Amino acid sequence: MAYGGRRNTAFNAFAAFYLASWENCHGVEWPDMSAAEAVMEARAAGIHLGVEGDDLVLEAAAAPPPAVLDQLSRLKPAIVLWLRPGADGWSVEDWHTFFDERAGIAEFDGRLPRDQAKARAFACCVPEWLNRNPVRSPPGHCLYCGVGDHAHNPLLPHGGESTGHAWLHSRCWSAWYARRRAEATSALAAMGIAAPANLPNDYGKNGSA
């Protein structure tokens, strides 16, 4: 962990302590929300948290409370994973923020029961994940079955101009899209975001929160 920002020399004594206290950067299983809670408490204590590589960078105008620092130290690997942007540009925290906002809109503006609001929020996360993790393929072969163009089963481009196209037979699209949705669902689950177990995952698939 490194200290930045105001370069308060009072932090120098803490720095050595933190460098020695972190070991494991793996094995975090969401939803272990202790990292999220530690981040909230740190921000409430006036600490700005950033990530550089595997390091947590703290900025604050005054020396933070030792208990807050101790918690950041203990949970550093999980906090780094929570805050570090993924390949799609969003951190785990960003995904949870998106989910929570959608659930809140569905619950309070849409007046849905909590479980249905969460299901609706999850249904919004899936297309967002698909948009942020686009798949492209060269024309000439179907991305799903690998076979080329046929007059009776043409290859068609799917996706937007900005993200590029995936080429698929029209008959292969639905199976490919089901696989993509499963991929999104499992990526979201790995971040601790899932639809309530008692409701189908595709609840509200055709609606919007």
CB of 49 to Zn ion, least distance (A): 46
CB nearer to Zn ion: give 69 or 142: 142
Among 49, 56, 142, 209, binds Zn ion (CB under 5 A): 142
| Maximum C-alpha span of the chain | 74
Query: Of the ranges 87-95, 112-120, 127-135, 162-170, which one interacts with Zn ion (CB under 5 A)?
Result: 162-170
Binding of Zn ion at residue 145 (CB under 5 A)? yes
118 binds Zn ion (CB under 5 A): no
For residue 205, the tally of other CB atoms under 10 A from its CB is: 12
CA-wise closest residue to 79 among 36, 46, 41, 40: 36
Size of the site for Zn ion (CB under 5 A): 5
- Show the DSSP H helices in the chain as ranges: 12-19, 34-44, 66-74, 76-83, 92-104, 114-132, 173-190
| CA pseudo-torsion sign 126, 128, 134, 139 | positive
Among 75, 125, 172, 184, binds Zn ion (CB under 5 A): 172
From 22-30, 70-78, 135-143, 190-198, span contacting Zn ion (CB under 5 A) = 135-143
CA 23 to chain centre: 24
Residue 74 vs 171, nearer CB to Zn ion? 171
Q: Which of 102, 118, 165, 169 binds Zn ion (CB under 5 A)?
A: 169
Least CB distance to Zn ion at residue 148 (A): 9
DSSP state of 65: P
Segment interacting with Zn ion (CB under 5 A) among 30-38, 62-70, 80-88, 167-175: 167-175
Which residue, chain included where needed, has tokens 């929160």?
209
Minimum CB separation of residue 146 from Zn ion in Å reads 7
Residue 149 identity (one-letter amino acid): D
Which single residue brings its beta carbon nearest to Zn ion? Answer: 142
CB burial of residue 89 (10 Å; 0-12, 13-18, 19+): exposed
Find, among 122, 137, 127, 144, the residue nearest to 191 by Cα.
122
User: Which spans of this chain sit near Zn ion (rule: CB under 5 A)?
Assistant: 142, 144-145, 169, 172
